[in-house]
Structure 1
Amino acid sequence: MVERDSRFDAVIVGGGFYGALIAVYLVRQRGLERVLIVEAESGLCQRASRNNQARVHNGYHYPRSFTTAFRSRVNLPRFVRDWSSAVTREFTALYAIARRNSKVSALQFERFCREIGAPLRRADPSSRSLFDARLIEEVFVVEEYAFDATVLGQLASDLLAESGVEVRCQTRAVRIEHGGEDGLQVELCGGQGEVGRVVAPYVFNCTYSGLNQMGGDFPGVHAALKHEVTEMALIRLPPALRDMAVTVMDGPFFSIMPYPPRSLHTLSHVRYTPHLHWEEVAGIDPYQKLADYPRVSRVDRMLRDAQRYLPAIGAAEVVESIFEVKTVLVKSEGDDGRPILFERHAELPGCYSVLGGKIDNIFDVLDKLDSEQIACSKLQAGEKSL
């Protein structure tokens, strides 16, 4: 017999933005009443949801992946509508096309933007003068936004509270097992080492880089994953660049984006941001690998290379670097696409794994959930007694 307090209609493992929104969806759209989120950190939206570029994509970043670009164009208006108070628009977003080593020319980039319906215009002389014309073919002004992860996390927390979702932080799910008529059994480990168990007909694994770190009967995801230890530098830009975002396309270049939670900018570089990478290997915990990594910064190299294209960035002040694990699908390495992973585990009915590469991918996840057979448990409906 399973105690009432340990029985739920769904358990969400991972309290990032995806996990929180899936929980709210299950309550509000599918009628589930007892939903639990377990999160290893001390609060919600503390890892991948926060430690990123804070870019709300509008398709420009993916000229080699039409599907990813188009889905960004579709999702951006939805994101701005639903999360407007977390969206920052008070900056000019510039995309510059490098003359050499770029995988797309200025003409190809313009054609691509027309195809996906993404607005752009050629920058005025004052904006173009910020760049070294010997290295940059053309500069475009685009419509792209940033999000404030702190505000987004608070909005998600408010929605969870309004929806009656129970949240247990500093709690890890370590095993998922078949539970017979009880549904799926999830073994939990608290921050003080205490162990407990909950059961539910549905479990959603939203642990990002930790997708395959679950024990028990959990089969692991079938898709091949690649992990990277990455460095995102936080910088304070000089006045000439402070109200801008700049991305140099499309190859071994760099990007600066506003980072609203700190009133700073992020600096990332295709060559220097990834410190090491590896394909998913059984027995290797990506988060432990991150914890053991020495974290020697490469921000000097990022700035030195960026300054060749954008001389004014040489006056930027480095504040700190954030190291995190980034996880992508191996199949997307060729075109740099960012499709979602939405996997229903046939070996463990009722268990799903979810991975998204961008914040706006959440709408693709929710659209996928619309087609799933998810219903209230018989227990909740009063058809089965404890």
Structure 2
Amino acid sequence: MSGFEADPTSQDAVVVGGGFYGTAIAVYLARQRGLKRIVLVEREPALLMRASYNNQARVHNGYHYPRSFTTAYRSRINLPKFVVDWPGAVKRDFTKLYAIARRNSKVTAKQFERFCRDIGADIQPVNTALRGLFEPRLIEDVFLVEEYAFDTTKLASWARRELSESGVQIRYQSRVTAISKGAQSPLQVITETTQGNQEVINCRYVFNCTYSGLNQFKGDFPGVSTGLKQEITEMALMQMPESLDGLGITVMDGPFFSMMPFPARGLHTLSHVRYTPHLHWNDQSDLDPYARLQHYARETRVDRMVRDVGRYIPDVLKAKHVDSLFEVKTVLMKNEGDDGRPILFERHMELPGCYSILGGKIDNIYDVIETLEKENISGIDGQEKSNGGVVNV
């Protein structure tokens, strides 16, 4: 028996990041792969407080991605699973519409209908009352679709319960500062609390699920090989007028704006392709995206959002701005042109047992789990075998 295996303080795995992906992966490792000693490190005082919360809370069903068939098709496969696995967190009691703009749209109404048929997504014509909400000179057609929202607070409750029952230890208000090869263990992780206290954790596996912070580690961590783009984004929270309160609406594809129920606050989000991104940069290890967000002025652009959206849907002009959620959004640079949202699943050859994982949508978790199923992951007494490299699903 090695010194690592005999060490009662050693861990099977460290999961970095307590968002939806980090918590779901930790639960999977404990429940499905039999890992007994798992530590989850989260820099916030609670779970699912950052990107998992500060987004449009949409459970995609494929409609959003007419220029990326693979992403759309994966959403069609994953949405029914998500509804079954997290029924209490899914909001279904609203009407969801997709409208196609007459000008500057990258898809026509007929192309959108054909795309929906190709991916097997249900699409129906709307009645006169719903069509009457749109400015006909700017909107070519409107379709009734099947798409849902999720309540992050209920997902967080699920995560707390499942992690506790699975025996996963959580280090709140802590961040991982370095990942290295261990002297007495395969990997060594250094954490630091907000008070400056450090901890060294010896482990077999590290799962880097930090979303925007994927490259923010010292030690032997090489960084991900795939180029990442960071954006500071604003998601406006609105109190909609009665005529729009029970609706979710997306207008595409060029003008591209959306309003969706936001169950965690009982409001609607409003996003706009032109005004939601405030600034962007190419990710690099010496530029902390969270620090950049912390020092950002956060001046709202909601007036410009509402003014433009109001041209297409006049009743939006009656909406009231309640709050705005600012967050760092991370996308793969290679998918900027087609709106594809594959997962990034990277095995770091320099650090065997260390993985970096990024998903652009909540339903991508199933793509991550499918990929993990192919990995030979075991507890302290097991052996790992992996081919290495990057997987994009």
Q: How far, CA to CA, are the matches of 2:177 and 2:115 in structure 1?
A: 45
Instruction: Check the 8 A contact 1:93/1:244 in 2, yes or no.
Output: yes
Given residue 296 of structure 2, which amino acid in structure 1 is its aligned partner? Y
Given residue 15 of structure 1, which amino acid in structure 2 is its aligned partner? G
Instruction: Check the 8 A contact 1:11/1:200 in 2, yes or no.
Output: yes
- With structure 1 as the length reference, what TM-score do the two structures score? 0.97
Which residue of structure 2 aligns with residue 353 of structure 1?
A: 356
Instruction: Check the 8 A contact 2:238/2:323 in 1, yes or no.
Output: yes
Displacement of 1:192 in angstroms is 1.2
Instruction: Check the 8 A contact 2:347/2:356 in 1, yes or no.
Output: yes
Instruction: Check the 8 A contact 2:15/2:207 in 1, yes or no.
Output: yes
Offset from partner CA, 1:332-372 (integer Å, 9 cap, x none): 01100100000000011000000000001000000000000
Question: Tell me, what secondary structure is at the counterpart of 1:160?
Answer: helix
Question: Tell me, what secondary structure is at the counterpart of 2:360?
Answer: coil
- 2:80 paired residue among 72, 77, 86: 77
Which residue of structure 2 aligns with residue 195 of structure 1?
A: 198
Q: How far, CA to CA, are the matches of 1:349 and 1:179 in structure 2?
A: 11
Displacement of 1:154 in angstroms is 0.5
Which residue of structure 1 aligns with residue 294 of structure 2?
A: 291
Displacement of 1:183 in angstroms is 1.6
Q: How far, CA to CA, are the matches of 1:214 and 1:281 in structure 2?
A: 11
Instruction: Check the 8 A contact 1:95/1:140 in 2, yes or no.
Output: yes
Displacement of 1:282 in angstroms is 3.3
Q: How far, CA to CA, are the matches of 1:196 and 1:158 in structure 2?
A: 25
**Mapping of 1:17-36 within 5 angstroms?**
17-36=20-39
Question: Tell me, what secondary structure is at the counterpart of 1:134?
Answer: coil
Runs (5+) with no aligned partner, structure 2? 384-393
Question: Tell me, what secondary structure is at the counterpart of 2:11?
Answer: coil
Question: Tell me, what secondary structure is at the counterpart of 1:300?
Answer: helix
Matched, 1:377 2:380: yes
Instruction: Check the 8 A contact 1:6/1:197 in 2, yes or no.
Output: no
Which residue of structure 1 aligns with residue 391 of structure 2?
A: none
Displacement of 1:5 in angstroms is 5.5
Given residue 72 of structure 2, which amino acid in structure 1 is its aligned partner? A
Offset from partner CA, 1:28-86 (integer Å, 9 cap, x none): 11111111100000011110111000000000000000000000000000000000000
Which residue of structure 2 aligns with residue 383 of structure 1?
A: none
Instruction: Check the 8 A contact 1:235/1:317 in 2, yes or no.
Output: yes
Which residue of structure 2 aligns with residue 315 of structure 1?
A: 318
Q: Which runs of 4+ in 1 moved over 6 A?
A: none
The verdict on how the C-alpha distance between 1:235 and 1:257 changes in structure 2, with shifts beyond 3 A counting, is same
Displacement of 1:27 in angstroms is 1.0
Which residue of structure 2 aligns with residue 269 of structure 1?
A: 272
Offset from partner CA, 1:134-178 (integer Å, 9 cap, x none): 000000000000000000111111111111111111011100010
**Mapping of 1:1-386 within 5 angstroms?**
4=7, 6-378=9-381
- With structure 2 as the length reference, what TM-score do the two structures score? 0.95
Q: How far, CA to CA, are the matches of 1:173 and 1:68 in structure 2?
A: 31
Runs (5+) with no aligned partner, structure 1? 381-386
Given residue 121 of structure 2, which amino acid in structure 1 is its aligned partner? A
Instruction: Check the 8 A contact 1:232/1:267 in 2, yes or no.
Output: yes
Instruction: Check the 8 A contact 1:253/1:306 in 2, yes or no.
Output: no
Given residue 50 of structure 2, which amino acid in structure 1 is its aligned partner? R
Question: Tell me, what secondary structure is at the counterpart of 1:185?
Answer: strand
Q: How far, CA to CA, are the matches of 1:159 and 1:253 in structure 2?
A: 37
